Amino acid sequence: MDVSRNRGLPHFLAHDAGVDSGLMIAQYTQAAMVSENKRLANPASVDSIPSSAMQEDHVSMGWHAGRKLRKAVDNLRRILAIELVTAARAVELREHKPAPVTGELIAILRERVPGMGPDRDLSPELEAAYELLAPR
């Protein structure tokens, strides 16, 4: 995504760098979810407080921990979906033949998510990549 480190690829893997924003907003979205996952990694047990007129000094936070885990795993799937779209774009821009499994994965992705073009709302495409990564 960073033209100073991506060895010749366009800024943000944009279709028309300087005019289109490419995958810049997708990268912002991904960074926000990574930060949220870091926050969710804080143990739920640190928020336990005495209850029941001080008769209980430990309140089970298992339910809250489970909800946090579920959100973190969902975020990870979304992060990986953005990574998949981004990596596919970079491979295609390099115009090198990818490894067979990589090529198959990109072909499956392209059945649901078209390649880059002019700026547009990427949320439906990122959602399609997210669904592609759904557990089976």
Is the pLDDT assigned to residue 56 strictly greater than 70? no
CATH for 11-132 (1.20.200.10, 1.10.287.610, 3.20.20.120, 1.25.40.10):
1.20.200.10
Contact (Cβ atoms closer than 8 angstroms) between residue 14 and residue 70: no
Non-local CB neighbours of 132 within 8 Å, separated by 6+ positions: 81, 84, 108, 109, 112, 113
Annotated domain spans of the chain: 11-132
8-54: per-residue pLDDT in tens?
Answer: 898 899 888 888 899 999 999 999 999 999 999 998 877 777 777 77
Q: What is the mean pLDDT of residues 100-110?
A: 96
- pTM, rounded to two decimals: 0.86
Percentage above 90 pLDDT, the chain? 61
Structure tokens at 37: 């996952």
Non-local CB neighbours of 17 within 8 Å, separated by 6+ positions: 3, 10, 11
Structure tokens at 70: 């579920």
